[in-house]
Chain A
Amino acid sequence: EVQLVESGGGLVQPGGSLRLSCAASGFTFSSYRMHWVRQAPGKGLEWISYISSSSNDRYYADSVRGRFTISRDNAKDSLFLQMNSLSDEDTAVYYCARSATNTPFDYWGHGALVTVSS
């Protein structure tokens, strides 16, 4: 069974940093592209970052570029999102999701809540 489990969410002050993790199981992690998608309270879905299977390509939404860094460890079946210079606009549930080549996001984690507040 495919599983994606996020961790690392929590309360952080404006300007602070947080690192999210996503543990994958039930599939060959190194064969899949991975994404982070977030959802602010009461709002829709926003794609924020992508990493290719080999980490050769990484993309970011304009809203997080320069502040967030996506990475992965294929040996440990894990995806990460380092978030720096956080503001209240970054308050959201953060989901990791997988895709194959030019396919939609077929599996999603349960999400990790990040709250930026003083």
Chain B
Amino acid sequence: IVMTQSPATLSVSPGERATLSCRASQSISSNLAWYQQKPGQAPRLLIYSASTRATGIPARFSGSGSGTEFTLTISSLQSEDFAVYYCQQYHNWPPWTFGQGTKVEIK
């Protein structure tokens, strides 16, 4: 299953909303996760089952979608949210596949 993220880069001002997209090449039900990765750090699980926040993740992060189309929304960007975000499917495996990432940068 190929995962395609868009856009590659998203320029957003602090306090604004960010909307990231992820598309699967075939239906993955809701077996989709979102990860955040900051420079020099390991990825951190944000969202699983397409819309469930992982432990300790702030409510400004929300996920939606099912089947082949998914969205990660950050309602009001904080300085610590500027990072690269990856989606991952865990519906049909192996392999477990990631999108190519969306970099959220300061506008």
CB distance from B61 to the nearest CB of A (A): 15
Task: State the CA gap A105–B41 with chains docked (Å).
Answer: 15
State which residues 75-118 of A face B: CB under 8 Å: 95, 99, 102-111
Contact B45 A105 (CB under 8 A): yes
- Kindly identify which residue among B37, B48, B101 contacts A104, using a CB–CB cutoff of 8 Å: B48
Number of A-B contacts (CB under 8 A): 57
Task: State the CA gap A44–B96 with chains docked (Å).
Answer: 13
- Contacts A44-B101, A95-B42: A102 and B90 contacting too (C-beta < 8 A)? yes
State which residues 51-72 of B face A: CB under 8 Å: 54
Contact B33 A47 (CB under 8 A): no
Task: State the CA gap A104–B33 with chains docked (Å).
Answer: 6
Contact B44 A108 (CB under 8 A): yes
Among A47, A95, A99, A110, which residue has the most Cβ atoms of chain B within 10 A? A47
Contact B42 A44 (CB under 8 A): no
How many residues does chain B have at the interface if contact means C-beta atoms less than 8 Å apart? 23
- Kindly identify which residue among A47, A50, A95, A103 contacts B48, using a CB–CB cutoff of 8 Å: A103
Contact B42 A109 (CB under 8 A): yes
State which residues 72-107 of B face A: CB under 8 Å: 86, 88, 90, 93-101
CB distance from B78 to the nearest CB of A (A): 22
Task: State the CA gap A40–B95 with chains docked (Å).
Answer: 18
Contact B42 A45 (CB under 8 A): no
| B interface residues (Cβ-Cβ under 8 A, vs A) | 31, 33, 35, 37, 41-45, 48, 54, 86, 88, 90, 93-101
A sample of 18 cross-chain residue pairs with beta-carbon separation below 8 angstroms, ordered by A number, consists of A44-B86, A44-B98, A44-B99, A45-B37, A45-B98, A45-B101, A46-B98, A47-B95, A50-B94, A59-B94, A61-B95, A95-B43, A102-B31, A103-B90, A105-B43, A106-B54, A108-B42, A108-B43
